[in-house]
Structures are given as structure tokens and as C-alpha cells.
Chain A
């Protein structure tokens, strides 16, 4: 899976600008012939969600799996007279992760993030004290315009068990979905693999795609935080202890029946897992859960350190176990207790 993960995390795709990453994922699907059976479908909806239907035997549920293609980034709000760029956030971007960093625009232009003089160096500057330098001499010759977007620049580092890159959130979820699509041979269920857009700016793609798919059960696959780094916020999730089955996050309570189904599957098949209570943050499942007349929803989370920084770290074992958990769970009938 590592090759796919590398390809996905290094592709450009801030919220609203997902064309490149969508094309990458489509290529993977086509290259491996992943949705070519009778009844299978691949389509893109009005906001750009990529929806892949893998038809099942027919006597199961209509299941939606969601992983978001978009990553956090920045958008240019002003080009000043000297060619420096002021910018705003796309999704949860915080100043302390930006200082001294590099960003890349859609056309490949690279920029460095600089900061105004700070009167008080102990205080974190707001975004409005930062700017991007693309090496332009003045406004007229600057290759970047207001409205252009950029993502972080950070290639994948493979540390063996651990992988580090920007955009693990949520390209790792997309990689998991692709692998499940490959490994899921027999299933009673019609499974919709939905690669959503604009999760980072408000779960927008999940809102509209779930309305269209109208599933009767849903799972998102996204990253979650950990409590295992120095002086971390209390959280009972650690890297390497297995995929996390979400109980609750900042936006939703997982349907108890869905949570229990995943726990039973893990325990019955010797798959390591952890239980997740996350205090800040949420996933596409929150939007799917309240679609139409309601959908029992849950989430399989990939534990991740340093979320929303340019260097997000996951454990490769957690990733492969997440795939195994989903494939095993979806291969059989589902009964929610």
C-alpha cells in the first residue's frame, strides 16, 4: 500500500480544488480494474465527489464508506505592491504550524511563509501577520493572483513502521478505501466508496453525496488524534495499538449498533483495535448521520500524531489492520444490536 499512499499524500488538493487528487484516485481505480463488474458504477457529482459503487450479492445493506480527498491549505487574499502575498486559511490551519514553512500552488510555484516583526515574541501571531514570498519582485511580475490556493510541501518519509507526510488527513483514508475496494471479493452489500470533497471546510461533500447515495448505514474513514506524545491532551488512543473505533467526537456520537458491530468483528477475528473518544474535531460521518431521515453511522479512525501540521504521522500496522477490519466486517451480513 505504501506506493499508493505516497502518490496520494503528495498530490495537490486543498478543499474546493480537488481535481488532481480525484484524477489520481480514478487512475488507481482504472489501473487495477477495481469497479468493472456488472452493476458497478463510477461517477462524479455536482460538487466533485467521486462515487464508486461496488455491487454486492444483493441481499445486504446499502453501505456508504467515506474518506475525504481534500487537504487543508491557504488561499491568497492580497498581492501587495512588492509582490508579497497575504493569505487566509482553507480549513483548520494554525499559525504555529506555518512559520518558516513552504507551500506549493497548483502550477508548481513554491512559496515561503514569512512573518512581520513581532513586538512580543512570546505570543503566537495571527494569520494576518504572516505572508508568502514566492520570490517575485513586484505586484506586476508576481505569478500568483488573489484567489489562488496552495498546499503544504512535505514529501512522504517512510520510517518503516511509521509514515510521515502532509495530508495523511485524509489521503490515508482514501488509501484505505482503495485497498478495501481491491480486497473486498465477496459481499452481500452494495458498497458505495465515496471520496468526498470539502470536508475540511464543513463536511460539504459528505452532506450532498450522502443525500444522493441515501445509504442505510455509513462509515467514514479518517484520522484521529492520539494521547501518546509528551504532555498531550488526555486521549486513550496510541499509535500502533490498532485502528480506532469511534465512540464519540466533537460533532457526533457513533451509533451504538455500528460501534458494537465493529468491535465484535475486531474481537472475533483477532484484529487489534482501540476505542476512541475525541474531544475536538469531527468527520464526514457526522454529516451523513443526519442525511434525510437519518443513517446509523460510525467511523474507523487511523490514529495520527500532529494532525493539521505538515508532518502527520501514522502507523503502517494500524493502516493495514483498518483495511482488514473493514473487509472482514463488510464480507458478512450486518446486524446492528
Chain B
């Protein structure tokens, strides 16, 4: 399963090269055509069996949130910008890999012994943090890293859960949206009635940028975005929505901040799920945004929907997802796509 390789690969928004190469190598034998456009999207075509003249775009984004080195200090420490949405509070004391050579560094923090009580209540600001790669001068540091280098969390992919116990989860970075990419790769093992444009987009995390230009080029009739979306199951006394939950199947978006899903596509997914006994959930409306937000408003409009694998702790060094949810997502999207020509335009 490709998720481990994809999760450990580096691909911060704007520099998705490593992930892009892995995906190109995997899909080359499974699609009829592919190209890389001017912003770095992979646009791959899997021709249909000829029974439908629909053009359908299915998108998953290759990029992850991360960092860019902004300045090398005289003492060899590195300042950084954040790329995409990152909560500053998760940054202290983490390990990162910098650049294509994955130079390891640590985000240091003041020892507790030397911190006053009132300091500990102060919010953490990323501008005050630095990355330490173990050098003590600018000259030494610049042999290894440059201003402008990208960096990611250094997280290894691990399998959790006990074998044979029925609850199989995995932990790693960038499940948002390497999980979606892995789903899309699996979908390419099937032929559909129509031409399927599998688009592995770039720069979703900085404004849905790749999806916008890809959709303009592809001009699809329908679009699906595949995501790894947030699940929040931490216990709370209040009876409110967890957004999505692990183990309850793929999450269908009816509305988020970036778009309102086409009702026919939502209906198709729900009907397919219920007919085939696939678990599914409705993602808590109104949270987040996905590539569908850009796709649906290109040219004269594209009816769109987003389906996601629920993941805890997205945009942090370690996310967790359930492999049954992953398999059910592949199954639900594959079966729904096959039924797509039956719904009214």
C-alpha cells in the first residue's frame, strides 16, 4: 500500500517534487496519458470503456503544510516561515527534515527550569522559534541549507493496532492529503464508463491553486475531490459534533467554507453506500476547504463533491487514520463513479 511511501515523502506546497515523482512512477502503467502542467499538477487520463461521453475529474492534493527557511543567523540557527495553516502551539520541540537532502534539525525551546510561571502562559509565536541543525556559524550552516529551502516534520509512518484485532490504524504525517492520493491511485485499477481525469494537484494548502488551473484545462462535467479530513474525538462534556469519526466510514461533504456540494452527487454517494452496505458519515458542515472549492467555480461551473478519509490531528506532526475507513473510501468512490452516468445532468 502506497500510503507509507507517500506519507514519508517531502512535498510542501510549492515543492511537491518528491511526491510527484513517486506518483508518476506508480501510475505510469495504469493510465493512458499523463502530463505535468505549468504549476506542477499531474493530469492523468484513464480512458473509459466508451459507453459514456462524460468527462469526470477526480482530484487529490500532493502538497502538505510545512516550513520555508527565511533567514540564517550568524550563530547558525535558522528562522522559518510557515507554509499553509499550522498552529504555532505544536511547533516546540519537534524534529524537521530540511531540503531535498533531508538535513535533520530540531525546533528548540527554553528549558522549563529557567522559565517563569507567567512566561508559561504566554502564547507561542513561530517567529520567536528557531531550527537548530547543529552548526555554530552562518558559513557552516549555509553549507547544508539555504534561505528558501523547504522543511517538513520528520515523522515515520507506523502501524498501530494489534494484528487480528479488527481495529487497524496507522500513524504518520501528511495524511492530509496523501491519504486522498493513495485512494486515487487505487481508483486507477478500475476502468470506468467515461474518461477519468485523475489529477494530483499542488498547492491546495496555500489557496487551492493547482486545482483551479487544472479544472480550467480539463473542463470536467463532474468533479470529486478526495481528502484526508479532520476527526475530533477527544472527549468533551458537551454533546457536539466530532466533525468526523474514525471507524465510521468515508466522510461526505455537503458544505464547507469553500463550496456547497452538488445534491445529485451527495445523493449518489449516499444511495450507493446504503445499497452496498458501506458505512459513511456526513462531515460536520461549515469546516475547512478543499480543491472542490476551486474546481466548482471554474469557467461556467462544475458540479462537485468531496469525499474524505477521516484523520485525527491533521496539520500536525502525527495524524492517525483507520485502514477500514481507507478501504471503504476507495470502495464507495469507485462504485459511485461507476454509477455516475445514471444521474441526471
Asked if A16 lies at the interface with its beta carbon under 8 angstroms from chain B, I say yes
Interface string of B277-312 (1 = CB under 8 A from A): 000001011100000000011111111000000000
B284 touches A77 (CB 8 A): yes
Given contacts A78-B284, A146-B282, A212-B300, 7 further A-B contacts (CB under 8 A): A15-B260, A46-B300, A49-B301, A77-B286, A90-B255, A147-B285, A204-B259
Q: What separation, in Å, do the CA atoms of A75 and B260 have in the docked complex?
A: 11
A80 touches B255 (CB 8 A): no
- A146 contacts across to B, CB distance below 8 A: 241, 282, 284-285
Interface string of A174-216 (1 = CB under 8 A from B): 0000000000000000000000001001001101110110000
Asked if B165 lies at the interface with its beta carbon under 8 angstroms from chain A, I say no
Question: A47: nearest residue on chain B (CB-CB)?
Answer: B301
A209 touches B260 (CB 8 A): no
B240 touches A80 (CB 8 A): yes
Asked if B333 lies at the interface with its beta carbon under 8 angstroms from chain A, I say no
Asked if B60 lies at the interface with its beta carbon under 8 angstroms from chain A, I say no
The SS class assigned to the B binding surface is loop
Interface string of B250-261 (1 = CB under 8 A from A): 000011000110
Q: What separation, in Å, do the CA atoms of A47 and B296 have in the docked complex?
A: 8
Count of chain B residues near A, Cβ 8 A: 19
Partner of A45, one of B254, B298, B300: B300
Asked if B274 lies at the interface with its beta carbon under 8 angstroms from chain A, I say no
A207 touches B240 (CB 8 A): no
- A41 contacts across to B, CB distance below 8 A: none
B299 touches A208 (CB 8 A): yes
Please provide the chain B residues from 140 to 177 with a CB less than 8 Å away from any CB of chain A in the complex: none
Asked if B116 lies at the interface with its beta carbon under 8 angstroms from chain A, I say no
Q: Looking at the assembled complex, report how far the CB atom of B238 sits from the nearest CB atom of chain A, in whole angstroms.
A: 9
Question: A208: nearest residue on chain B (CB-CB)?
Answer: B301
Interface string of A113-146 (1 = CB under 8 A from B): 0000000000000001000000000000000011
B300 touches A209 (CB 8 A): yes
Q: What separation, in Å, do the CA atoms of A88 and B257 have in the docked complex?
A: 11
Asked if A89 lies at the interface with its beta carbon under 8 angstroms from chain B, I say yes
- A88 contacts across to B, CB distance below 8 A: 284-286
